[in-house]
A and B are shown apart, each in its own frame.
Chain A
Amino acid sequence: MSDDNWRPQIVAFVCQWCTYAGADLAGTSRIKYDPNVRIVKLPCSGRIGPLFLLKAFEQGADGVLVSGCHPGDCHYVSGNLLARRRFTVFRELLIFLGLEPERLQFSWVSAAEAVKWTEVVDAVTAQIRALGPRRQGWGAEARLQTSNSKAQSLEAQPGTRNLKPGTQKAVEEGIRRIARQLLQTGEAGVIVGYGNGTLKDVTTPLFVTEPEGVEQLVWNERCLNNLSVYLTREPVTRLGRVGIVAKGCDARALVALLQEHQIERDKVTIIGVQCAGMAENGRLAARCAVCDVHTPPLYDHLVEDRALDTGDWAEGDPRDREIAALEALTPAERWAYWQEQFARCIRCYACRAVCPLCYCETCIADKTQPQWVPPAFDARGNLSWNIVRAFHQAGRCIGCDECARVCPAHIRLDLINRKLALLIRDAYGYRAGYDATVAPPLTTFRPEDRAEFIR
């Protein structure tokens, strides 16, 4: 693919104190290097956002280089260490989606390392030159590339295990009893729970404001909704103090919301429910197979399920095998797989609406000054939207899978979320939604954080 006349377009985002000064020194030392890199100067590598990288690729960059001060040298104390975590995650995300790792590179170059700067530029350029121009436009032509057999075999597998419903009736009674009591004593103005819906295989969120209404609250293996999403919705909070029915996974969302100051602990009453697992297509939902919060980590009242049996379900999340299979593909095959997935996106934003942690009233995708995420539902915009959504969930997603469940296009958002959750668990020992007092992983750092991908 290499062509001597082809000039790769490479953008370098660099910090002004170390790398920019190092590049200046290369100039004063008259060290010659490849002329294909364009520098964008920023105060600190901590100011370099993933959106910059995304936009550069979207515009047509063949490669992107990010460079800052060595750990310990940051002019602003810790900007580069925060950047290191952000880019560890962002890079893994893009690689999971099929970007060749060589196209997105990172380096620490100090103000004295003029030679290193030229070596980095030359090496990065050479690698990208060897790869050739970006295989596809950012999302363009993706629809043509769906015939990859290996990728197609990765279609979602239904769960294989059967449900072991507990004593649903007794739990239901318990929920009603507590709900009635909360409403009668005025401790809650509204109870958010589950009621029977119009469709058979799914319940619907139910908002009960009168004690008589509690008889409509139900509990069964179809209570899939993560109701915590309503705690940040003004029409619900207007009804008064909220009492919420929460499964373990919902309670994890509540922990995350507490951590991000979106709810106040003393303004919510949590009716925790011991949950044996929920059903999807008549089988145990994938996430429930690895559930370790059958008893919610946070509650005010607990409704116990006497028959709760969590015994032999600990054989692992079936999606981990799917992720492994995807990772075994070549970048081109993975890229094709995800392009086909994202091509189906209609930008309905149901994933965003249903996510308890997508609470921003004005989403970055809705902001137009500047327009980081193209609004059109074409391949380019869809790719950017899905990357931004995934990255914004990194280290925060509590794995309730609601986004994937509600996606009308059946995009495997759950695989992306799970991939990032596993990465963050392994790299930073952090799992979202267990402890509201610790700092989220992308707002903190450790000096020994992994950095093997940084030149």
Chain B
Amino acid sequence: MARIGVFVCHCGENIAGTVDVEAVTQVAARLPGVAHAEHYRYMCSDPGQKLLIEAIKEKHLTGVVVAACSPSMHEMTFRGAAVEGGLNPYLSEMANIREQCSWVHDDKAAATAKAIDLVRLMVEKVRRNRPLQPITVPVTKRALVIGGGIAGIQAALDLANGGHQVILVEREPSIGGHMAQLSETFPTLDCSQCILTPRMVEVSRHPNITLLTYSEVEEIGGYVGNFQVKIRRKPRYVIEEKCTNCGDCAVVCPQVVPNEFEGGLSWRRAIYTPFPQAVPAVYTLDEEACLGLHPLVCEKCFQACEAKAIDLNMKPEIVEVEVGAIIVATGYDLFAAEQARELGWGRFPDVVTGLEFERLLSASGPTSGQMRCPSDGRVPKEVVFIQCVGSRDPEQGVPYCSKICCMYTAKHAMLYKHKVPDGQAYVFYMDVRAGGKGYEEFVNRAMQEDRVLYVRGRVSKVFEEDGRLKVWGVDTLTGQPLEIAADLVVLATAMVANTEHDTLAKQLRAIADEHGFYQEAHPKLRPVETLTAGLYLAGAVQAPKDIPETVAQASAAAGKVQALFSRDELQREPVVARVNELSCEGCFDCQKVCPYGAITPEEIRDREGNLLRRVSNVNVGLCEGCGACVVACRNHSIELEGFTDEQIYGEIVALWPMPERAPERVTVKAQRRPRIS
């Protein structure tokens, strides 16, 4: 038998000014199942809470309804008080008679009637509440970082230095990512390699970091604190422990292919390291470029290797690991410049992308840092930089701003001027967006000190005439059409989402936005978390970012993971779905609507092990308690704790109390039965 206590709060005059709290209390006291009802000036005050605690103890209440403000204000307060009185916290509910009643209505009678309805509704709900226990899940204190660019490196190092085990997975032969390709970085013009490579080496040497390069995440299962991950190690045909990085193999390799790291501006062998400072410092045999991976075809590298590090029989390997948290730092791709056909990338060798230009600037690049045109090696005297190639261009590219191009174009123009002081640099821009510490000053320096000519306008066409590139554009500030004869054209291509984001997103149950970038849990307040608990974002996987922002987010993600790892067990709200196995028919519509992948088939077998039925099973570690599955279930074989059908039914029916029956006998007139045609 339910013994509910109802406590009506005046909230000073906030409620009592509009709602007749005395009347509400009197009606509440007569409701079925209500054993106690009272009203008080401030229920949330200490004496108010004492009233509630004492009433629970003295009257042996089985549930309480506090008619006061919004539950978002004081639900926790009164749940705590209920616990102090000896009740399960989930047997306390609030009727919102302030925000949704007294504050929004003037008519005292109508507001009182509404308050009574809201109280009755909650009493009926509480009568059907069940005591719930928080769900505890253990935490595996090991993290997986996907992506070995600067974001992944920073996150892995922060975690490892915090004393946690980290597995860092990188699909390329070396960590370093796009940052390793950069020549210098804005706005300080530090050499990118100089600041990055020490970190890369630290990763490879750190006792808490397991580095798996040339590897990809194959499968992810489980939930926060308890992910099971399968990582596929691609065969590099070189035994990492034995390789001495001497390079004898590459010298004899007969196969030559374009070097991806250099943007195709130079060549590499089939057995190679992407760049001299690669980590791990070992060679990789590119099986697609190799003549045949068989001693009968070619085994020159095998013969040349004194360390016997080459194993042509190496097979892909699946590594299974258990981790408690995952940081995704898979970075970005560049907008395919050939899509901007009018700009001629791919047709003219002297039209290059920003990243290719970085390699032309780099001391370790194909030109050893000398400024040369890719076509014939001459020193370019006129260079045109075109910004927003693909960015802010919903027609040909992407609608968003890639954020970093204004800055790196200024950097490019500056570095070019430093290398070719008598050359001329032009920048075509839409707007210069230089928000950031020292950024505006940096762009101003390019314009004023290095005399880079900024032209506000778009380029309509790049073409070749008399062996020279011609750039047609317009200066929208003067309205003048421009034609510039250029030696080199540099395109600031947009940052776009990594093409592999989609497949990985499904594995991770993360949501990719319309452009393929991963969605954060909240754009302002939870920018590094995702809606999947235990999954965090770092760097350009979430949106275009520059290096300082990427590093900041990576450290933030690492901080979140450390906070998660500071506990041995996680407590989760017990508002989760539960399956009634007896009536579940196994249609798995619930599985189809679950956004968290929390529902999986479970087999019910008899004692001999014969399969009887397949029914749905909810993983309470993954369930977030939205209840979509409950509505999808036609015969209601799933319940959502805290919002069960019984509870909602009670609430709905409570709004229309049965009319009070007259005590005398009711005479019923005989009626004709309905005729069935």
Does B bind A?
Answer: yes
Instruction: Give A residues with C-beta under 8 Å from B.
Output: 7, 9, 11, 21, 23-24, 26-28, 30-33, 35-36, 38-44, 46-52, 55-56, 59-61, 75-79, 82-83, 86, 118, 143, 260-262, 343-344, 346, 359-364, 367, 369-370, 372, 392, 408-410, 439-440, 442-444
Contact A118/B104 with A49-B631, A367-B636 known, Cβ cut-off 8 Å = yes
B411 within 8 A of A: no
Interface residues of B in 653-677 (CB under 8 A from A): 653, 655-656, 674, 676-677
Asked if B319 is at the interface (CB within 8 A of a chain A CB), the reply is: no
| Complexed CA–CA distance, A33 and B105 (Å) | 6
Instruction: Tell me the smallest distance from the CB of B394 to a CB of chain A, in Å.
Output: 17
Establish whether residues A28 and B676, one from each chain, have CB atoms under 8 Å apart when the complex forms: no
Shortest distance between the CB of B92 and any CB in chain A (Å): 15
Cβ contact within 8 Å between B585 and A361: yes
Chain A residue at minimal CB-CB distance from B93: A41
Asked if B201 lies at the interface with its beta carbon under 8 angstroms from chain A, I say no
User: B393 interface residue, CB < 8 Å from A?
Assistant: no
Question: Which stretch (B109-117, B148-156, B204-212, B263-271) binds chain A?
Answer: B109-117
A443 near B593: Cβ-Cβ < 8 Å: yes
B118 within 8 A of A: yes
Question: B628 at the A/B interface (Cβ < 8 Å)?
Answer: yes
- Which 10 pairs show the lowest CB-CB distances between chains A and B? A27-B99, A47-B627, A76-B626, A46-B628, A370-B649, A443-B592, A77-B595, A260-B587, A35-B110, A27-B103
A-B contact pairs, 26 of them (CB 8 A): A24-B70, A24-B72, A27-B100, A27-B101, A27-B103, A32-B104, A40-B652, A43-B640, A46-B628, A47-B628, A50-B631, A55-B649, A82-B593, A83-B631, A260-B587, A260-B589, A261-B587, A344-B676, A360-B585, A360-B634, A362-B583, A362-B635, A367-B583, A370-B646, A409-B676, A443-B592
Our pick among B589, B624, B648 for the contact of A52 (Cβ within 8 Å) is B648
Whether A440 and B652, one on each chain, are in contact in the complex, defined by CB atoms closer than 8 angstroms, is no
B40 within 8 A of A: no
Q: What A residues does B575 contact at CB under 8 A?
A: 43
Tell me, rounded to whole Å, the shortest Cβ–Cβ distance linking A77 to chain B. Answer: 4
Q: Does B422 sit within 8 A of A, measured CB to CB?
A: no
B640–A47 touching, CB < 8 Å = yes
Instruction: Give the chain A neighbours of B676 by CB distance below 8 A.
Output: 344, 346, 408-409
A55-B588 in contact given A30-B103, A367-B635 (Cβ < 8 Å) = no
Kindly state whether residue B555 has any CB partner on chain A within 8 Å: no
Chain A residues in 8 Å Cβ range of B649: 55, 370, 372
Residues of B within 8 A of A55 (CB): 649, 652-653
Contact yes or no, B627 A42, CB < 8 A: yes
CB pair B592–A440 under 8 Å, yes or no, is yes
CB of B243 within 8 A of chain A? no
Per-residue CB contact flags for chain B residues 579-606 toward chain A (1 = under 8 Å, else 0) read 0001101111100110110000000000
In residues 540-593 of chain B, which contact A (Cβ within 8 Å)? 575, 582-583, 585-589, 592-593
**Interface membership of chain B positions 54-97, coded 1 if the CB is closer than 8 angstroms to chain A and 0 otherwise:** 00000000000000001110000000000000000000000010
Residues of A within 8 A of B653 (CB): 55, 59
Q: How far does the Cβ of B642 sit from chain A's closest Cβ, in whole Å?
A: 8
- How far does the Cβ of A120 sit from chain B's closest Cβ, in whole Å? 13
Residues of B whose CB lies within 8 Å of any CB of A are: 70-72, 96, 98-101, 103-107, 110-111, 113-114, 117-118, 121, 511, 531, 575, 582-583, 585-589, 592-593, 595-596, 614, 624-628, 630-632, 634-636, 640, 642-643, 645-646, 648-653, 655-656, 674, 676-677
| B635:A43 contact, CB within 8 angstroms | no
Q: Which residues of B contact A28 (CB under 8 A)?
A: 99, 103
A260-B589, A409-B677 known; A30 vs B626 contact (CB < 8 Å): no
Tell me, rounded to whole Å, the shortest Cβ–Cβ distance linking B575 to chain A.
Answer: 7
User: What separation, in Å, do the CA atoms of A360 and B592 have in the docked complex?
Assistant: 18
Residue of B nearest to A143 (CB): B674
A44–B677 contact, CB under 8 A? no
Among A40, A56, A75, A440, max chain B CB count under 10 A is at: A40
- Among A27, A56, A372, point to the contact of B104 (Cβ < 8 A): A27
B111, B117, B627: the one contacting A43 at CB < 8 Å is B627
Nearest Cβ on chain A to B529's Cβ, whole angstroms: 13
Given contact pairs A61-B655, A261-B587, A364-B634, a sample of 11 additional A-B residue pairs in the complex whose CB atoms are under 8 Å apart: A24-B72, A24-B99, A38-B121, A40-B121, A42-B648, A43-B642, A48-B631, A56-B652, A76-B531, A359-B585, A444-B593
Beta-carbon nearest neighbor of A444 in chain B: B592
Residue of chain B at shortest CB distance from A28: B99
Q: Given A40-B652, A260-B587, A262-B585, A35 and B111 touching (CB < 8 A)?
A: yes
Give the complex CA separation of A185 and B118 in angstroms: 68
The complex places the Cα of A363 from the Cα of B592 at a distance, in Å, of 21
**With A27-B100, A408-B676 given, is the CB distance from A46 to B626 under 8 Å?**
yes
- How many Å lie between the Cα of A78 and that of B117 in the bound state? 32
Nearest-Cβ distance from residue B96 to partner chain A, whole angstroms: 7
What is the minimal beta-carbon distance from B102 to any residue of chain A, in angstroms?
Answer: 8
Which residues in A have their C-beta under 8 angstroms from that of B111?
Answer: 35
Question: Which residues on the B side are within 8 Å of A367 (C-beta)?
Answer: 583, 635-636
Q: Which of A78, A86, A343 contacts B595 (CB 8 A)?
A: A78
Quick check: B632 and A443 within 8 Å, CB to CB?
Answer: yes
Contacts of A372 in B (CB 8 A): 636, 645, 649
Contact of B627 among A44, A143, A262, A361 (CB under 8 A): A44
Which residue on chain A has the smallest CB distance to residue B614?
A261
Which residue of A is nearest B94, CB measured? Answer: A41
The answer to whether B100 and A24 touch across the interface, beta carbons within 8 angstroms, is yes
Q: In whole angstroms, what is the CA distance A372 to B511 when docked? A: 36
Bound-state CA distance A205–B326 (Å) is 57
Bound together, the chains give a CA A52 to CA B651 distance in angstroms of 10
Chain A residue, CB-CB nearest to B677: A344
With A27-B98, A38-B114, A42-B643 in contact, is A47–B631 under 8 Å at CB?
Answer: yes
Q: Could you say which residues of chain B place their CB within 8 Å of the CB of A38? A: 114, 117-118, 121, 655
A78 to B631 alpha-carbon distance, docked (Å): 14
Contact between B100 and A39 (Cβ–Cβ < 8 Å)?
Answer: yes
Q: A47-B628, A439-B592 are in contact. Are A40 and B651 (CB under 8 A)?
A: yes
Residues of the A chain whose Cβ atoms lie less than 8 Å from the Cβ of B626: 43-44, 46-47, 75-76, 79
Q: Which residues of B contact A31 (CB under 8 A)?
A: 104
The answer to whether B648 and A40 have CB atoms under 8 Å apart is yes
CA distance A440 to B105 in the complex (A): 44
Contact of B634 among A44, A75, A370, A392 (CB under 8 A): A392
- Name which residue of chain B comes closest to A440, CB basis: B589
In the complex, which residue of chain A has the Cβ closest to the Cβ of B73?
A: A24
Q: Is the beta-carbon distance between A7 and B110 smaller than 8 angstroms?
A: yes
Q: Across the interface, name the chain A residue whose C-beta is closest to B511.
A: A77
A76 touches B587 (CB 8 A): no
Determine how close the nearest CB of chain A comes to the CB of B526; give it in whole angstroms: 11
Complex formed: what's the CA distance from A31 to B593 in Å? Answer: 37
B635 lies within 8 A of A360 (CB): yes
Q: From B110, which residue of chain A is reached at the shortest CB distance?
A: A35
Nearest Cβ distance between residue A26 and chain B, in whole angstroms?
6
Interface pair B99/A262, CB less than 8 Å apart: no
**B674 / chain A contacts, CB cutoff of 8 Å:** 143, 343-344
Contact B643 A43 (CB under 8 A): yes
Per the bound structure, the CA–CA distance linking A7 and B105 in Å amounts to 14
Contact A46 B117 (CB under 8 A): no
Pick from A35, A75, A364: contact of B105, CB under 8 Å: A35
